[in-house]
Structure formats: structure tokens, C-alpha cells
Structure 1
Amino acid sequence: MKKYISLIFILGLVFFFQSCSSQNTGDPKMVDALVNSKEFTFHAERANPTNYDVINIMNSMPNSTSTRILQLNGNYTVEIRKNNLEVTLPYFGRLFNPTYGNTSNNSYRFTSKDFTLTQSQNKKGNWIVRIKPNDVNNVDEINIEVYKNGKAFTSVRSNDRQPITYDGFISKNEPTTP
């Protein structure tokens, strides 16, 4: 009986410390300052394709999970500056006008100098940032919902492909070197 009590006690401690572990959260004031400055970087951690062909292929692979979430390595970003929007995001889904020679055009990799950025805050205090690039042909709108803790949910709507969403977080822009 003592073994069971000590085992339950140890498991309880493990669960307690796991729930108290540090989480990737930001200060709500810092998040508000970043969004209000209209200069921040969204870092994509997961991609959520909506195309069922992609989901079925992912589920048929050996040792795959039955989720439709793809873990990304963190090198995919949406960087927003005053006069520059730089997007580097992967795409998983159906393209209606693919390019066969230059496959880099099949993902979201572009720089926009002419874009419209609007932001609003909902009842829960989350920020909604809408970006409409005017000098990019295939992207209609990018929506970024920024939560109080710095986590963010991004959706990209295109003219030539099915929509896709990304989960991640925002951070301060890194300084550019001249």
C-alpha cells in the first residue's frame, strides 16, 4: 500500500511541475505595443492545410498522426515594417495555377511595398490585423489574430489556391543591417 501511495505522490508532483513549467507567453502590454507600432514579425510554428487531399496523404504515411497539423521549423515568417511586408510561408494544398519551372512561386514568398494594414481589437482583447497587399497578384488578404499572450493565428486567402492557416507567435522585428 505504501508503494501505491508514494507512486501516486510522485505522479502528482510530475503533473504539478509540468503544469507550472514556463510557457511561451508574452506580456500583454508588450503585445499591445508591438501591434500598435505596426512593426512585428509573425513566426509560424504549425501549418494547418484545409485541402482533404493533403490531409489524406499525410494520414497515409507511416508513423503519422491523424491530425492535420504540420510542425514547421520556425524559419517561416511574416515580417511587417512601416513600408515593407516580407512573407516567407510554406504552402500545402491545391494550386489552381501552378508554375512548373520555378517551384519557389508555389509557396508564399514575396515582398510587398504597397499594402494596406488595418487593425482592430475584439471584445476579448485580441488584435485582428488585416493586411491587403496591392502589388502581389496571387494573395488577396492575410489575417493575423494576435492573442494577449503573444500567440497568433494567421490565415492567408489567395486568388489561385485554397486557403491555409498557421499557428505561431509574434515578436519584435530584428534590426536590419545596412
Structure 2
Amino acid sequence: MLFQGCSAQAGKGDSQAVAALVNSGNFSFRAERATPTNYDVINVMNSLPNTTSTRILDLSGSNYSIDVRKDKLDVALPYFGRVFNPTYGNTREAGYRFTTKDFTVSQSAGRKGKNIVKIKVNDQSTVDEITIEVFKNGRAFTSIRSNDRQPISYDGYITKNEEPKEKPQPE
């Protein structure tokens, strides 16, 4: 199972394949770790028994991701930190979970051959901009700038989008 998960990382180690995947505009960011910036969250994490003094939360084994397609953006990421305008009773709003078709993507070259993808979301009140820094080996660092929350960042990797499964047609 572990080998299958590693092989699913498109372009891991192949810088040309990674660049082609990002340039295609159809890729997924799979989150493996979250790094909150809120010291209240960090203090709570440090007070738990058998924990080390770290502010990184392990998300491996989960299905947290950002799926970028030319016509649609799907975001499903957890959030740990302070929310300035909470919505009560709606647990769906607890993290970043939305699908939109109203977004713009811009790309630029960074230092040491990395690609920087900036996604401006136009129809979400909580998210202003998502920045994904893609390294040559397929690893990625994502940060989300929000209008009503403290910043958070994620580490993970880039992979090909999974093709949507077609529903069987009734006979």
C-alpha cells in the first residue's frame, strides 16, 4: 500500500513532468502536514500528553486536497486557528471546503526552478488567495490568505487529478 501511494505522486523526482503537470492547469495538491500560526492552537498542541514541542499537524492518511482544473477549483482542507467571524451551527464551515468556478490562476517562476501558482478566488467570502509553491521534485508548500481567519500553511505534494468516475447508465 505504501508503494502505491508513493507511485501516485506524479512527477516525483522528475522536474520536467512536474513542470508539465503544473503548466497544464490540471493538478491536485495533496496535504500531508498543516502548520497553524495561532499561538493558542500551538499551546494546546504542546500541552497534550506525549507530544513534542512542534506546531506541525500530521495530515497523512487523510484526503485533504486542492484540485485545480481549468474550469473548477475544489478545496477540502482543515483549518486550525482563530476565526474572526464564525458561523455557528455550520460545521461544514470549520475548514476550507468549497467548490468554485469563479477563480483566476496566475503562474510565475520562483528561485531554484520552483513554480509559484497563485489562485484568486472571487466568490468565497473566507478565502482571498491561495498560493502553491511547487518544487522541482513534486513537493509543494501551500498558504491560504483569508479575509476572516489567521493564515495557515500546508506541506504536501502535487499529483495528477483523479478522473471523475462515471456513473453507470441504467439499462
The residue that corresponds to 1:68 in the other structure is: 55
- 1:111 pairs with 91, 95, 99, which one? 99
CA deviation string 1:87-128 (max 9, x = no partner):
000000000111221111121000010101000112311000
CA deviation string 1:40-80 (max 9, x = no partner):
00000000000000000000000111110000033100000
Aligned mates of 2:108, 2:62 — CA distance in 1: 27
Unaligned runs of 5+ in 2: 1-5, 167-171
CA deviation string 1:109-150 (max 9, x = no partner):
000101010001123110000000111111000000000000
The number of aligned residues is 157
Aligned mates of 1:31, 1:144 — CA distance in 2: 13
SS in 2 for 1:75: coil
Q: Which letter does structure 2 place at the counterpart of 1:127?
A: N
Bigger-Rg structure (1/2): 1
Aligned mates of 1:45, 1:74 — CA distance in 2: 8
Q: Is the 8 A contact 1:34 1:40 kept in 2?
A: yes
The residue that corresponds to 1:34 in the other structure is: 21
The residue that corresponds to 1:16 in the other structure is: none
Comparing both structures, which one devotes a greater share of its residues to helix? 1
Aligned mates of 1:175, 1:155 — CA distance in 2: 26
Is 1:50 matched with 2:34? no
Unaligned runs of 5+ in 1: 1-21
Aligned mates of 1:123, 1:95 — CA distance in 2: 33
Q: For the aligned residues, what is the CA RMSD?
A: 1.5
SS in 1 for 2:112: coil
Runs of 4+ off more than 6 Å: none
Higher relative contact order (CA 8 A, sep 6+): 2
SS in 2 for 1:30: helix
Alignment of 1:2-21 (within 5 A): none
- TM-score scaled by length of structure 2: 0.88
- TM-score scaled by length of structure 1: 0.85
Q: Is the 8 A contact 1:126 1:148 kept in 2?
A: yes
The residue that corresponds to 1:173 in the other structure is: 161
Q: Is the 8 A contact 1:43 1:74 kept in 2?
A: no
Shift of 1:36: 0.6
CA deviation string 1:2-24 (max 9, x = no partner):
xxxxxxxxxxxxxxxxxxxx997
Q: Which letter does structure 2 place at the counterpart of 1:74?
A: S
Shift of 1:177: 2.4
